[in-house]
Amino acid sequence: MMTAQELVAKVKNLPPVPHAALKLVSLLDQPAVSNTEVVQALRSDNVLTAKLLRACNSPFFGLAEPVASVDQAVFLLGHQQILHIVLTIAFGSAMVVPLPGYAVEASELWRHSLVTATASEMIANEFTDLNVEAPVAFTVGLLHDIGKLVLNQTLTADLQAEIRGQIEHNKLDRSEAEKAVLGTDHGEVGALLLQRWHLPDDLVEAVANHHHPVLKPRLRFSVVTHLANCVAHLSGSAPGWDGYAVRISEPVVASLAITPEQIEQLVFNVREASDRVEQFMNLS
Amino acid sequence: MGKWTIPAPRKILVVGVADMAASNDPGAELVTYSLGSCLGITVYDPAKKIGGLFHVMLPDSRIDSVKAAGSPFMFMDTGLPRLFHATYNLGADRSRLIVKVAGGAQLLDERGVFNIGGRNFQALTDLIGRNGLVIHARDVGGMSSRTLRFDLGNGNVSIKSPGADAYLL
């Protein structure tokens, strides 16, 4: 049995993420961000800037004139689009890896992350009581499973079999089974990565608790990641043999008075947005 | 056939999510991937080797009837009749049709609000029953996603989940 800290300390390959992208994410907890701040965060990284400009000039964004500088890109596309593109570039290469410990093929985790990010934005817009801004919702959706990259490296065949046994025989969900076998789960491990990157506490919480969301004393961001993850699984993005070993939080369903029709509508809307997800797959 | 005879390559047709295909080519195989809460429904006329496969996502088009008109294969109520008619148009006989279904995985959900897999299957059995047909074989529910392969030469439907062996439904 290990804590998330002990487990991360054992792992050699932590996902490499450009500092400039993390700087941009850390701006998310500020009430108002100026174009200058966004530009400054990005300008320190030439490689990221080059990739960003190339992405902005792809036909997907339909700009009339090609952009040549970060200033121009931020001005024309706006903070939200820039954040989406930068995150896609920054985390895409780290997250397009096969995860044998989860029976997940390369690109499946990344597609699931993008679908969850899309669902997360929609949920933030649908359930306004949650009080989550769309860019934050997108970000936490994108990063909710990043702990799997780390955990996967420690999952020997024996441990995998043990986790599988817990799910099949004891009716645990994936996160509960990981805790029973390892002492921690991919949510806690992912949250620890975000902490190391000095990302805002709300984001850390959203990743840590996406399988057991926090409702008291107030609904926290993990409620959004929880719902978004479940909707993504139902939208055809449930990678791995245990793709449906996810427990729905009863208190979340009750407190937001969620109806079956709402869930079907969300699944439909997420599916309708699948072209956009594929475009983002191509950017990274 | 001699030991060195090379069989003709199979024609594989992939049916995407919220899509349908039908064929009368006995050399063809219809395949659909990552059936989660979605259902994969096959119909087959063994005498004529005509079959169709429908990968359906949601039970009821009434949640958005305007958009549903543009994507009828997203929904059971609008897609299933089209699956049957596609095989009739190729010459299949309704009385011979063999119906099989797989998918409908469920999240761990006490209240069933998220149980789209179950509602998909309920919508299917309602429609099938109302039309006096029967489901001949099914592999529905559970927590795994499934890949479905449908051989139009013999009507075999094989199901495979990640980390498990394929088997014939």
Query: How many beta carbons lie within 10 A of that of residue A255, not counting itself?
Result: 14
Residue A233 neighbours by CB under 8 Å, 6+ apart: A243, A244, A246, B36, B37, B107
In the three-class reduction of DSSP (H, G, I as helix; E, B as strand; rest coil), residue A228 is classed as helix
Amino acid code (one letter) for A202: D
- How do residues A112-138 score in pLDDT, each as one tens digit? 999 999 999 999 998 888 888 888 899
- Looking at residue B40, its pLDDT comes to 97
Helix (H, G, I), strand (E, B) or coil at B56: strand
| Nearest C-alpha in A relative to B115 | A260
Q: What is the ipTM of this complex?
A: 0.85
Nearest to B55 by CA among B164, B147, B118: B147
Q: If you measure CA to CA, which chain A residue comes closest to B117?
A: A234
pLDDT of residue A40: 84
For residue A241, pLDDT beyond 60: yes
Give me the mean pLDDT over the A212-225 stretch.
Answer: 89
Beta pairing partners, B149: B31, B158
Asked if residue A236 has pLDDT above 80, the reply is no
Q: Is the pLDDT of residue B2 over 70?
A: no
User: Of A125, A118, A109, which is closest to residue A140 (Cα–Cα)?
Assistant: A118
Buried b (16+ CB within 10 A) or exposed e, B2-26: eeeeeeeeeeebebebbbbbbbbee
| B162 with A171: Cβ contact below 8 A | no
Determine whether A168 is exposed, middle or buried from the number of CB atoms within 10 Å of its CB (0-12, 13-18, 19+): middle
A 183-202 near B (Cβ less than 8 A)? none
Looking at the predicted structure, is the pLDDT value of residue A80 above 80?
yes
3-class DSSP state of A75: helix
Interface probe for B, chosen from A268, A271, A277 (most Cβ of B below 10 Å), is A268
Question: Per residue in A167-192, pLDDT tens?
Answer: 888 889 999 999 999 999 999 999 99
pLDDT at B94 over 90: yes
| Candidates B55, B111, B143, B146, partner chain A, best to mutate (most A CBs within 10 A) | B143
In which order are the strands placed within the sheet that holds B146-151? B11-14, B28-35, B146-151, B157-160, B167-168
Give me the phi and psi of B105, to 5 degrees please.
-60, 155
Cα(B64)–Cα(A266) distance, integer angstroms: 11
Stretch A11-34: mean pLDDT, rounded? 81
Between CA A14 and CA A5 the distance in angstroms is 13
Quote the mean pLDDT of chain B. 91
Whether B143 and A233 lie within 8 Å, measured CB to CB: no
What pLDDT, in 10s, does the model give residues B7-50?
Answer: 667 789 999 999 999 999 999 999 998 898 999 999 999 999 99
